[in-house]
Every structure is written in C-alpha cells, then in structure tokens.
Amino acid sequence: MIKKKTNKKSLAEISRMVATSYDIIGHDYHSTRRIHKIDAELQKFSDLLPLNARVLDAGSGSGVPTSKYLSEQGHQMIGIDISDGMLEMAQKNVPDGRFVKMNMTDLKFDDDSFDGVVSLFAIFHIPRTQHHLILSEFHRVLKKGGILVINQGAFDMDGISRFFGEPMMWSNYKPEKTLTMVKEYGFEIIFEGNLVRGGETQYWIFARKKYDKKKKSN
C-alpha cells in the first residue's frame, strides 16, 4: 500500500532515493523476476522494428528480460538507468548491449536517433509531473516512424512505499490521461490496454511516432 505523500521531497531527492534503493535490492529484484512473462510483448515490439534496429531501453534494470530478449533478436540495445548496481548487472547479462548511467528525464542522445524506445516497469518510479517531459524526450530521440512501448500502473497513484524493504516511488496518472499525453506528442496508437502478466496488471501502450510535434507537416 502507498502511504506517504511525496510533496516534501525534491525531484533530485526522489531520484537519489530510487537509485539507492535499486542499488540495494537489485539482486533480489532480479532473482525473483518471471523473466518470460512478457515474451509476447517483446516479440510484438521486435516485429514492429526494422532488422538490427537501434533501440533505447529506458530504465533498463538488470537488462533481463527486455534488453536481453531484444539483443538476441539482433537489435542494438542501449540501456540507461540511474542505479549503478543495475547497470553493472545489465552489462554482464547483455554483453552485446551498451549500458549508460542517465536519467530518462534528460536524455543525452541526438534527435531522431533511435528506431525504438522501450520503457517497462520504470516510468512509475518517477513523479508523474515529469511524465510529460519523459514522453517528450522519447518522442524527440525517436526517428519518424519509430516505435514506442511503455507500461505503467493500471490506476492513478502517487506516493512512496517499501519495495523489497527499501523506500520506493510509485507515481502515474490514470491510463486515460497517459494515453492522451502520448497522442498529444504525435504518436499513433498501435495498442493500448491493461494486460495481466505474471499475476500483475499493467497499462501498456504500443505507439508509432507520426511526426515532429513542432512540425506537424513533416
């Protein structure tokens, strides 16, 4: 259950809290994952990408399952995360990928430089007031026609609770609002809806970048 409100912590403090918690709990989290529970979604994403696509995995965690699966499909994986511990695991688990410390609210990548962006079980660790910014960054780095896949909680939430014994942020708007934001950024929706995987329900969106938000005519 989410108990504490977050309005007393700054965004930087929340980010440090999440990174520190994942440094501590990373191995336990990784070892309890049901790693094949989203194989169908990862395969669907892969099928929408060109061969040998350049793909950003935002909040890549241990690299398993997402970056590992997609790397085995022949895609060039670039993972970013704010936890040193998770990045270290990811580089070992996915030797062909490249894993870099970076916050998904501030991507240090060129415009139109990825064929795909995937961010699973991660956006909800960032205060939802930042989700517009994250979507705008994902849109900016995707090529026109590039594919976005994200998921989040299936209901409105905003607070801190314990996760594997450590403090963790959980924050997202209700699915309808997230869907509206994704559409506003010039994405065409391929699929959206709640999916139950491994006994958990998440809200998923698969979308394609239609145009540059600032230049709708291109």
- Give the binding site for ligand SAM (CB under 6 A): 15, 18-19, 22, 59-61, 66, 80-83, 86, 103-105, 120-122, 125-126
Reference 147, options 182, 174, 180, 123; nearest CA is 182
The CB-nearest residue to ligand SAM is 61
Contact present, 98 and 78 (Cβ < 8 Å): yes
Q: How far apart are CA 109 and CA 112, in angstroms?
A: 9
Count the helix, strand and coil residues of the chain and give each as a percent rounded to the nearest 5.
35, 35, 35
Residue written as tokens 């690299």? 63
> Minimum Å distance from CB 195 to ligand SAM?
14
Shortest spacing between CB 102 and ligand SAM, in angstroms: 7
DSSP codes of every residue in 171-188: EE--HHHHHHHHHHTTEE
Shortest Cβ 29–ligand SAM spacing (Å): 7
Closer residue to ligand SAM, CB minimum distance, 113 or 211: 113
- Nearer residue to ligand SAM within complex by CB, 59 or 186: 59
In angstroms, what is the minimal distance from the CB of 172 to ligand SAM? 12
Q: Which is nearer to ligand SAM, 113 or 183 (CB)?
A: 113
* Pair of tokens at residue 206: 């698969």
Measured from the CB atom, the residue of 9 and 210 that comes closer to ligand SAM is 9
Cβ–Cβ < 8 Å for 14, 127: yes
Q: Nearest approach, Cβ of 120 to ligand SAM (angstroms)?
A: 4
Lookup result for tokens 């309808």: 176
d(CA 105, CA 41): 24
Residue number with CB closer to ligand SAM (53 or 104): 104
